Amino acid sequence: MSTMDFTAIPVFQGLDATELGKVEAIFHEEARSAGSVVVAEGQTGEEMYILVRGRVQISKAMLMAGMSVPLLNMASPRKVLATLDDTSRPIFGEVALIDSDQRSATVTAITDSIFLVTNREQFFDLARREPELGVKLLLTLGKRMAATIRRSNAEVVKLTTALALSLRKSVT
């Protein structure tokens, strides 16, 4: 259990005090040192994290595993997708509550950081005990995931357009 004010966490807004107390009970605080990897791309996991103190960087490999681009001197380039601080209480790893597939990005603590953490077992135990609350939480997380998919789709269109323009220039 945490001493954090859960009403300050956007993903839990709209829950009443009783519901917040039940949600709070499935989280614990976890501290990480600056430079430590919180979530590693390609690894499996079942935890969701909420950043409550500190800063993190989210990055993603830009080439498939084992691939390199010698001409560009790129062995394993990474793209920084976001740098987040605790002001908005960002969450990450929420997909792992639903699906045990590989993590899609790496999250690294930039500063000493504190997270609220829960896992799949605790989350679904709460959802089974409190189905109405479980539905509320799953809807909120589902909306977040849908927004992420929409942003990713827009990025794919931008990258495809840039590639098409680049290829057209190289042909002419």
Domains and CATH numbers, the chain: 6-135 (2.60.120.10)
Which residue do the tokens 């989350």 mark? 123
| pLDDT single digits (tens) 56-88 | 999 998 776 666 666 555 556 788 989 999 999
pLDDT at site 69 = 61
Token pair in block for residue 16: 């009443």
pLDDT at site 47 = 96
Distance CA(58)–CA(107), nearest Å, equals: 5
What is the number of other CB atoms lying within 10 angstroms of the CB of residue 170?
A: 7
Low-confidence spans in the chain with pLDDT less than 70? 1-3, 64-76
Distance CA(38)–CA(24), nearest Å, equals: 21
Provide the sign of the torsion angle of the four alpha carbons 30, 100, 130, 126, taken in this order: negative
Distance CA(104)–CA(35), nearest Å, equals: 19
pLDDT at site 71 = 55
